[in-house]
Structure 1
Amino acid sequence: MSRNVAVTNTVNRRRLGVPAITLMIIAASAPLTVVAGGATTAFSVTGSIAVPIGYIVLAIALGIFAIGYAAMSRHITNAGAFYAYAAQGLGRPMGVGVSIVALVAYNCMQIGIYGMLGFQVSDFVAAKTGFEIPWWVVVIVFIVIVGWMGVNRIDLSAKVLGVLVALEFLVVIVFDVVAFANPAESFTAQPISPAEIFTPGIGAVLAFGIAAFMGFEQAAIYGEEAKDPRRTVARATFTAVGIIGVFYALSSWALSLAIGTEKIAGGGITPEEAGPPLFFGFAAEHMGVIVVDIMSVLFITSVFAAVMSFHNAVARYIFSLGRESLLPRGLGRVTRSGAPWAGSVTQSVLALVVIIAFAIGGIGSEYGPLYPVITLFTWLTNTGAMGLVLLMAIIALSVIGYFRRNPNSTTAWTRLISPIIAFLFLATVYVLIVANFNVLMDQPETNALTFVLPLVIVVPGIIGVIWGAALKGTKPHVYEQIGRGAPDPDDVEVSA
């Protein structure tokens, strides 16, 4: 066996503090991508100015969810966070089902984002040099880069993501200041008014907005690598939710002023300017071409940061499931530095296969150069976001189940009331996503994909629950270990 590879029951610990984990969470949500791409699309498609207050509502609701979630993190430290929480809160079969849904959802998010990354880099290079690079060639290069970072120490990823996130925040803050100073129509606080919560279209706004927060739940995934998992995970989760919620609300408010609230509500956004052009068009007019070029580069690095963050999450889920023999044991291996190399390589190979299939098949090529965004990105990221919302709703119930089985000094608010509120809200958002799925997919009318993609999330989960229940009779030793993780986080067996 290689001298730099370990077979262990835990990834390396004590490298990550609250700032590092918070940055990786925020990187997954990709601030610049959300503001320049997500918020602009939400305004364009919904025609509602309630997007800013929608982010506030979502942040509050997810903050309530995080109360019970963070409380469980003090008792369960496992790289397969959702999987372990469901197994110990709702039973082992449910844990297996959740693990499959998590793998599908996170892979959908990570691989789907590659479609946006490939297009943006290819388009930017072509615009500046005239040299056209196929989007899939760009993606393959980034798969290698991400894979290399994934098999190295996690604090290397944290440092890289930290720099990229800081630059994203800086450029969006500059945009916000200019937008507030130069409103297209007149200055108004209506977009952040609570009254907008009760206007038509709020359901679609929330369905769009929830994707901006995807990744905030990742803190628990890094529990085994946190300096103090009992405190670090909870603090990073609440910090990330607070920062993301406030930042997105303020930035989308500034964006609404840059576009014009009357233009948004009156359906005045043309198809040619819908989406990112709303952001970059304003920046070009008021900040200059050089600034727009800088923003374009940072938009690319924002997407890359999201890819890296979701890659890390998938690698740790694969590690956790390999360690507990739900996947081949070899996938539970880590390097001497503690990186889950087998999980990282597996995710990279899977991404490569999907990208090649899309490229060879030319899936969606009838849409022109934008087809990797319209197909790969749109299809998979919306499917992944749907899966993560479903998982969070299930985990809210897991909190109740866990503290019923393991009563301690937690308050009724933590173990019962907040999880119920979170479940009701998340279940409602899940229904809204399903109901508005063709809108989220930007489909002019419902077609087979409207139904097939949601099933890609649900069916594997159901199969996982059935498989998990069957393990009790077929592999009782595996069944007993489901969701238990490493019995001793400091026990590492390193090969010679």
Structure 2
Amino acid sequence: MTVHTSAAPQPPATGTAHAAGSRLRGSLGVSGIVFIVVAAASPLGVIGGPVPLGIAFGNGAGFPFAFVIATAVLLLFSVGFTTMTRFVPTAGAFYSYVDKGLGRSAGLGAAFIALLAYLALEAGVFGLFGPALAGLVESYGGPALPWWVWAAAGFAAVVLFGYRNIELSGKVLAVLLLAEVAIVLALDAAVIFSGGGPEGFSTGIVSPGQILSGAPGFGILFAILSFIGFEATAVFRDEARDPDRTIPRATYISLLSIGGFYTLSSWLLVSGVGQSKVVEESTANPGTILQTTTEAYLGAAGGHIIALLFVTSLFACILSFHNIASRYIFQLASRGVFAQPLSVPHERFGSPARASLAAAGVVAVLNVAAVLLGLDPIVEFYTWLGGISSVGIVLLLVLTSVAVLAFFARQERGGSTWRRRTAPALGLAGLLLFVAIILQNLPTLVGEESYGPFSFGVLALLVLAFAAGPVVARARPAAVLH
């Protein structure tokens, strides 16, 4: 791959300039970006989904410590990522950084991996949203309809919000996020005031024996998957106020908020159930343990609220990833990679309306294919697409870390050695460990006992996406990513 020999940004080629008239409009502050990014992480969905699975199939009562490890590694990654932000004055997140550090071919490859990962995850979460909403409606005496009917209703709402100005999505996500965080914090408070549950407060989070018990690697895998989306703060650069300050602040606040919330709430869930019983309960009822625990501490009303907010949490997650994917398409089109009309913002809303519709089209095709093929929406559709996304995002984190180190090896005016080299190098080491853990557990993640067609298929798709970078770079020499 080609490496730039100069740190100075190259001027855009004719026809690819990111002119003011083609920029997205918005005035997102730190809080607005934080709401969008944290909503993508789906806090309630994580506490009700990956956390029970991490407890059941990972390291039991020691699982909450996996969030501490993941947070620490991602904070190290963020040091270099945010330090480089002021040298990357374009919205584009991963691929702009990879392009700046490792060259245009690698940058385009990273862009295609990112787009594949985000579109796959957006489509896959509909496989959770549809059945969850169907179950909720039926529980209140509503009609029993196929999961895809409810997924289609959610899809229509996502298309509507994605077409409008980002600030509307930000407000909707803020309301949904505050509601889901509030109910989990209410459960946390109830467990604390009850003295820590039937066995007191769990000691698993600080016990080496518990932390290393079972399959700690699998626990770390679920912890890593719970953070997907935090890195997308830079995607909203064009719509942010004072992005050189807003983006780094939003990145750190999002990461610390997500990590702290997951660590605290997973520890208190273990405590609320009881350290000696939590593995058994999580294994037997991974999908309902959060609701039953909430009912035990907050009554039937609390259980009903959790059931409702779990559905809205999934919707918020889908909407957040749709906003991210739309902006990837918009930015790539504005730089001559995709068709130019996709880079035209809406005259009234200043939104990437056409790019949003393009993203929606891909997601619609994937969901329709799942229905026609008769795939189970959770066990097959969500799991397979989630496998693509999880591997893809972690690989992008690794590529970005390498790009940061390569860039600052040439650029000495970026801050202290800690920010330019030491922290990014430590973060890269941790991320490489995460890649090894994910690859080791990928078959289980996509529902296979060992490496088979789906595991190899996930890897093949990602390799092809990255390999498309050099091909497109040659085919479109005028395309410039930064």
TM-score normalized by structure 2? 0.91
| Superposition pairs of residues 168-183 of structure 1, within 5 angstroms | 168-180=180-192, 181=194, 183=196
Q: What does the per-residue CA deviation read over 1:383-408, in whole Å, with 9 as the maximum and x for residues that have no partner? A: 20221011011101111122233331
User: Which residue in 1 is equivalent to 2:309?
Assistant: 298
Aligned to 2:9: none
Which whole-Å deviations, capped at 9, do the CAs of 1:303-347 have from their partners, x for residues lacking one?
111101000000000001101111111111111222111110001
Deviations 1:331-370 (A, max 9, x none): 111112221111100011111111111112212xxxxxxx
* Cα separation, 1, equivalents of 2:458 and 2:414: 42
Pairing 1:94-493 to 2, within 5 Å after superposition: 94-180=106-192, 181=194, 183=196, 185-193=198-206, 195=208, 196-199=210-213, 201-264=215-278, 268-269=280-281, 271-273=283-285, 275-336=286-347, 337-363=349-375, 371-444=376-449, 446-468=451-473, 470-471=474-475, 475-478=476-479, 481=480, 483-484=481-482
Deviation string 1:428-484 (CA, Å, 9 cap, x unpaired) is 10110110112333545553212212322232112323432x24xxx4323xx2x12
Cα distance change, pair 155–360 in 1 and its aligned pair in 2 (3 A): same
CA distance change for structure 1 residues 463 and 36 in 2, over 3 Å: closer, same or farther?
same
Equivalent residue number for residue 9 of structure 1? 22
1:45 paired to 2:50:
no
Q: Residue 15 of structure 2 aligns with which residue?
A: none
**1:492 aligns to what?**
none
Shift of 1:287: 2.4
- Equivalent-residue separation in structure 1 for 2:89 and 2:61 (angstroms): 41
* RMSD of aligned alpha carbons: 1.9
Equivalent position to 2:41, from 26, 29, 33: 29
- 8 Å contact kept, 1:12–1:339: yes
CA distance in 2, matches of 1:194, 1:91: 45
Residue 270 of structure 1, CA deviation: 6.9
2:284 and 2:214 map into 1 onto residues whose CA distance is 25
User: In the superposition, relative to structure 1, how do residues 269 and 451 fare at CA in structure 2: closer, same or farther (>3 Å)?
Assistant: farther
Contact 2:82–2:247 (CA under 8 A) maintained in structure 1: yes
The residue that corresponds to 1:84 in the other structure is 96
Question: Given that residues 75 and 230 in structure 1 are in contact (C-alpha distance below 8 angstroms), is that contact kept between their aligned partners in structure 2?
Answer: no
Deviation at 1:192, TM superposition (A): 2.1
Percent identity over the alignment? Answer: 28
**For the structure 1 residues 476 and 450, does the alpha-carbon distance in structure 2 shift closer, same or farther, using more than 3 Å as the test?**
closer
Aligned length: 461
Could you give the per-residue CA deviations for residues 64-112 of structure 1, whole angstroms, max 9, x where no partner exists? 1111111111221323211111111111100010011001001111111
SS at match of 1:133: coil
State the partner residue of 1:487: none
SS in 2 for 1:48: helix
**Separation (CA, whole Å) in 1 of partners of 2:373 and 2:84:** 44
User: What 5-or-longer segments of structure 2 have no aligned partner?
Assistant: 1-18
Mapped to 1, the partners of 2:20 and 2:154 lie a distance apart of 28
Look up the equivalent residue of 1:285 and give its one-letter code.
Answer: A
Do the aligned partners of 2:113 and 2:392 also contact (CA within 8 Å) in 1?
yes
Contact 1:77/1:220 (8 A) holds in 2 = no
The answer to whether the 8 Å contact 1:95/1:465 transfers is no
Using a 3 Å threshold, how does the CA distance of structure 1 residues 155 and 331 change in structure 2: closer, same or farther? Answer: same
Deviations 1:246-304 (A, max 9, x none): 1110100011112322234xx5347541x121111222233222221111111111111
Q: Give distance in 2, aligned partners of 1:50 and 1:442.
A: 24
Q: Do 2:67 and 2:259's aligned partners in 1 also have CA atoms closer than 8 Å?
A: yes
Give the TM-score normalised by structure 1: 0.89
Evaluate the alpha carbon distance shift between residue 89 and residue 36 of structure 1 in structure 2; reply closer, same or farther with a 3 A threshold. Answer: same
Q: In 1, are the aligned partners of 2:200 and 2:274 still within 8 Å (CA)?
A: no
**8 Å contact kept, 1:53–1:194:** no
Partner of residue 10, structure 2: none
Paired residues of 1:8 and 1:332 also in contact (CA < 8 A): no
Alignment partners' CA distance in 1, 2:246 and 2:20: 26
Distance 1:406 1:361, change over 3 A: same
